[in-house]
Amino acid sequence: MARPAEGIRMINGKRVAVVMPAFNAARTLEKTVRELPEIVDFKILVDDFSSDETVRLAEKLGLLVFQHGQNYGYGRNQQTCYREALTAGADIVVMVHPDYQYTPLLVTAMASMIAYNVYDVVLGSRILGGSALKGGMPVYKYVANRLLTAFQNLFTGAKLSEYHSGYRAYSREVLMSLPLLENSDDFVFDNEILAQCIYFRYRIGEVSCPTKYFDEASSVNFSRSVKYGFGVLATTLKCRLQQLGLARYRLFSPAGRKLMFDYYALRSSSGNTDDGKRVRALS
């Protein structure tokens, strides 16, 4: 198994990991990896039981590869990504989708905003700069994005340009402290973690990010998009009710299950402890 690129580079003394939650990403993975900046200390891919050559290609490209024993979903994939990044020693974790919709060239800028203590969380926004439609975003997705974002800003009190970008950077503290094991295994995980960041008052910044929609890139179909939309509405209402003290949800509880909860103790007992080994995610 290939090891990470030699040496520790860091930004302002902070080690940076890029994590790539992958599912059938072989057609676009190499393009994505080739554009990752040299400042990245750890390049990690978690494969959610792909049926293509994603794992073989990732190993060839020198990534740290972890593979689920079955298809758990996008949210569970992220949990594994963050666990492995934190265990590797990352202080900043940037999620880059391996479908090449978002340019990896912004990793340095996003990680720097956290490394120099400007923000705790940084989003790559497709809306800032007006590039979403130019990049090929379907009109119905753009309209839904704007409506859901307006709804969430109104109810949470935040002022973000969008909540639905998959291009994100987090500090180690954020990933360790949020109750991420209370989140969904599905696509709404992205929205839940952002709502948690708002509820727990972490500082959120945004950078303008061009996007590309093309045949090889992954895309959520219409029915899954509708399901995601209703999940966003439910998450936002839960956040607001908890903010007002009218309800209590484990999703927003400081006592909720955190990312590292007994995971590595169980993993150690199964004998899977070495970096770079393919591991089966815990159920």
Residues 203-249 have pLDDT tens digits of: 999 999 998 887 666 567 889 999 999 999 999 999 999 999 999 99
Residue 130 pLDDT class (50, 70, 90 cuts): confident
Higher pLDDT, 129 or 75: 75
Token representation of residue 100: 């090449």
Each domain of the chain, given as residue ranges in start order, spans 16-259
Residue 124 pLDDT class (50, 70, 90 cuts): very high
Helices (H) and strands (E) in the chain, counts: 9, 7
Residue 276 pLDDT class (50, 70, 90 cuts): very low
Residue 277 pLDDT class (50, 70, 90 cuts): very low
Of all residues in the chain, the percent with pLDDT exceeding 70 is 87
Look at residues 78, 37, 67, 237 and name the one whose alpha carbon lies nearest to residue 168: 78
How far is the C-alpha of 34 from the C-alpha of 232, rounded, in Å? 33
CA distances from 254 to 31, 44, 113, 119, 186 (A): 39, 28, 26, 21, 22
How far is the C-alpha of 277 from the C-alpha of 17, rounded, in Å? 17
Helix (H) / strand (E) containing 123: strand 121-125
How far is the C-alpha of 131 from the C-alpha of 108, rounded, in Å? 20
Question: What does the mean pLDDT of the chain come to?
Answer: 90
How far is the C-alpha of 109 from the C-alpha of 122, rounded, in Å? 9
Per the document, the length of the chain is 283
How far is the C-alpha of 12 from the C-alpha of 3, rounded, in Å? 23
Q: Is the pLDDT of residue 271 over 50?
A: no
Annotate 156-222 with DSSP letters as a single string: H----S-S--S-EEEEHHHHHHS-GGGS-SSTTHHHHHHHHHHHTT--EEEEE--B---TTS----H
Residue 3 pLDDT class (50, 70, 90 cuts): very low
Residue 131 pLDDT class (50, 70, 90 cuts): confident
- pLDDT tens string 139-166: 999 999 999 999 999 999 999 999 999 9
How far is the C-alpha of 74 from the C-alpha of 48, rounded, in Å? 8
Q: State the architecture of 16-259 in CATH terms.
A: Alpha-Beta Complex (3.90)
Cβ neighbours of 48 (radius 10 Å)? 22
Residue 7 pLDDT class (50, 70, 90 cuts): low
For residue 154, the 8-state DSSP code is: H
